[in-house]
A and B are shown apart, each in its own frame.
Chain A
Amino acid sequence: MVFLFTIIRVALKALGLNKMRSILTMLGIIIGVSAVIAMVSIGQGAQATISEQIASAGSNMLFVTAGSYNRGGVRSGAGTSSSLTVEDYQAIARDCPAVRLASPMVRTGAPVVFGNENWSTNIQGVNTNFLAIKLWEMDTGTFFTEQDVSSAQRVCVIGRTVANNLFVGQDPVGQEIRIRNSPWRVIGILKAKGQSGMGQDQDDTIIAPYTTVQKKLLGITYINAIMVSAVSQAATGVAESQMNDILMQRHHIASMEDADFQVRNLSDMAELANNSNQVMTLLLASLAFVSLIVGGIGVMNIMLVSVTERTREIGIRMAVGATGGDVQFQFLTEAVVLAVFGGILGVACGVVGSKLISDSLGWPTLVSSPAIGMAFSFAGAIGIAAGWYPALKASRLDPIEALRYE
């Protein structure tokens, strides 16, 4: 123990005598470790957001979209075709036992004006089941009623982002906004929901009766999608096949390959997003690890130079009684001290870097202690690996030749 402390002091002193070199060598490790931490944090942040998303969106949710997007690029663009109708929605709501709630959906985007302010956002036309399907709640005001839907009233509820951008210092509820030159009354504000798993701001939206959006905004009779909530999470599969059956029958389609609609399960989508996200995280983390290894090679290089430069010192130490093991231990300690200091600074830089990334780019990041522990211990291991050979080389020097070395 006494010896260990002494050798650590000797190592610190030796590194301190060559400050610039030590700092530059450490820089490799610092960059490597902080890159690993930042990359893993970004990946885990995205993953956590997706998981949260599944929970908050309701894992019972399914989507039917018109068109099919996986036909080799022949008919791409889910929801752009006009094959889904209100009758399809009614059939699903009526005839699928596994479906608890359903809502038609039409979508568009438009600039919205209030006073001198304007804001471009997306407008979703739905029915009164929307909140229950999306597990969403009102913040203030009320949602529209069946009456509003059936009589196609120009009423809407707005997301938090829209409220913040259009109404500065005013209560939006009861105000009139203009969408494509027609007046709409704001009757409520949705609770803030945050970003979706894909990084979209879910609060940047306006929700209105689908009938109104169809007739007064788009002039269409078809719908873009049907959103559905199954009776339970376990029943999503059953609901999916029931909807497939009904729609195939209604659209006179013989096989799934010719289907002009697509049933999608939200948790499938989330899983897909999660998987691709994991691949991305792994890729980024391995690139970061490569830079950590490059940093380790830097440590090894400098240690080799150091052993050569200090041949005479090694000779002196051996002459006064240092064993090969003592010398090896000394140089190994120097390499490990370099790497561990680099690791500590790298962890600090990584944590700060992750914070900067999430603040400036708006990407969610999650700094996890396993990632820190992993990067840090990897840095230590690299120190040992990088120091081993130079230290061994030092320990094998012949004391007489080392003493004569100029």
Chain B
Amino acid sequence: MSANAMNAVQELVRGSGNTAGVGPEVALIEVVDLHKYYEMGDTRVHALRGIRLEIRRGEFVAIMGASGSGKSTFMNLMGCLDKPSAGTYLLEGTNVADLSRVELAHIRNERVGFVFQGFNLLSRTTALENVELPLIYARIRARERRRLAQEALLKVGLGERIHHVPSQLSGGQQQRVAIARSLVNRPSILLADEPTGNLDSRTSVEIMQVFQELNERESLTIILVTHEPDIAEYGKRIITFRDGQIVKDQPVLKRRIASEMLANMPPVED
């Protein structure tokens, strides 16, 4: 198949993601026998040892595991920040292992949204400009960038304070900006690495509410890495890593609903 035809097919697949009645048989992510080694001086660290996994469009997957279990490495691979040492990773049918650095950058720009534990916003740059960042690299015009960024900020419940810089925003607000930035390019997957790690419990639930809404309303596929079991239960499926392998992969039976949790929480005392 030519590259153009390939793109066209991917476009079709991606385009259909927003319409109702998506066939659940379409795998968004397909991972087969994935390995990752790191050379650390003389020793070789085997971070991922043969991962096999399939994630469909619209899923909300929580990945759990102790530190060193390989979940962060897996996340970096899913986000195309890194390439596997062996095995295949198909993102919407594209084998990431075959791609160049530049192509990986394009995939990160167009198909992947990142949310980090430490927010990773540009300091001394307004919320709006932070959200515009991926659009700059997508070569979108300034006016359109602004419109899309405002739209994304509204979606995460941050209509105000968009001209404030990160240091003037609370942790929860900063994480909302980061989520807006990850959404602004309409990615196929949203990857969140310990997104509530730096937040208090109420704010954490608020952020989970944002994720759940995005997952429900936009049928956005979300992969969430966390080591807190109660946070993981906001997802629909929990995958547990240990020593570079998947040891458990099961649906969440008693799912937490963030809006209900918030309603039962005591109001903020300030």
Contact = CB atoms under 8 A, between A and B. Distances in A.
Contact of A320 (B82, B101, B142, B181): B181
Contact of B124 (A10, A17, A318, A321): A17
Chain A CB count within 10 A is highest, among B82, B120, B124, for: B120
Interface stretch (A62-70, A114-122, A322-330, A357-365): A322-330
Interface in B83-135: 101-102, 105-106, 108-110, 114, 116, 120-122, 124, 133-134
A321 B138 contact: yes
Nearest first, the 6 A-B pairs at minimum CB distance are A321-B109, A323-B105, A320-B134, A321-B137, A323-B102, A321-B108
A325 to B, nearest CB: 7
B142 A321 contact: no
Given A321-B109, A321-B137, A400-B76, 20 more contacts: A6-B136, A6-B142, A10-B136, A17-B124, A313-B122, A316-B120, A316-B121, A316-B122, A316-B133, A317-B133, A318-B108, A320-B134, A320-B137, A321-B138, A321-B185, A322-B105, A322-B137, A324-B102, A326-B137, A399-B81
B44 interface: no
A320 B141 contact: no
B217 interface: no
Interface in B172-190: 181, 185
B141 A2 contact: yes
B254 interface: no
A324 B105 contact: yes
Interface of A: 2-3, 5-6, 10, 17, 312-313, 315-326, 399-400, 403
Contacts of A313: 122
Interface in B69-86: 76, 79, 81-82
B76 A324 contact: no
A326 B134 CA distance: 12
A401 to B, nearest CB: 10
Interface string B23-39: 00000000000000000
B120 A318 contact: no
A198 B133 CA distance: 63
Contacts of A316: 120-122, 133
A326 B185 CA distance: 17
A320 B141 CA distance: 17
B142 A2 contact: yes
Contacts of B116: 403
B85 to A, nearest CB: 14
A140 to B, nearest CB: 71
Nearest to A325: B102
| A contact patch SS | helix
A10 B136 CA distance: 10
Nearest to A7: B136
A394 to B, nearest CB: 14
8 contacts: A318-B108, A319-B81, A320-B114, A320-B133, A320-B134, A323-B101, A324-B102, A400-B76
Interface residues on B, range: 20 to 34
Contacts, number: 65
Contacts of B109: 320-322
Nearest to B145: A6
A5 B141 CA distance: 10
Contact of A3 (B102, B114, B133, B139): B139
B95 to A, nearest CB: 19
A321 B141 contact: no
A312 B118 CA distance: 11
Contacts of B108: 318-321
Contacts of A400: 76, 81-82
Nearest to A403: B120
B173 to A, nearest CB: 18
A159 B43 CA distance: 93
B122 to A, nearest CB: 6
A316 B114 CA distance: 10
A70 to B, nearest CB: 70
Contacts of A322: 105, 109, 137
Contacts of B105: 318, 321-324, 326
Contacts of B124: 17
A324 B101 contact: yes
Chain B CB count within 10 A is highest, among A6, A312, A400, for: A6
A241 B116 CA distance: 92
Nearest to B114: A319
Contact of B120 (A3, A17, A312, A325): A312
Given A2-B139, A2-B142, A400-B82, A319 B120 contact: yes
Contacts of B140: 2
A324 B105 CA distance: 8
B177 to A, nearest CB: 12
Contacts of A2: 139-142
A3 B136 contact: yes
Contact of B106 (A3, A6, A17, A323): A323
A324 to B, nearest CB: 6
A376 to B, nearest CB: 29
Contacts of A318: 81, 105, 108
A321 B102 contact: no
Nearest to A318: B105
A324 B122 CA distance: 18
Contacts of A6: 136, 142
A403 B114 CA distance: 12
B199 to A, nearest CB: 19
Nearest to A323: B105
Nearest to B120: A316
A322 B137 CA distance: 6
A5 B139 CA distance: 11
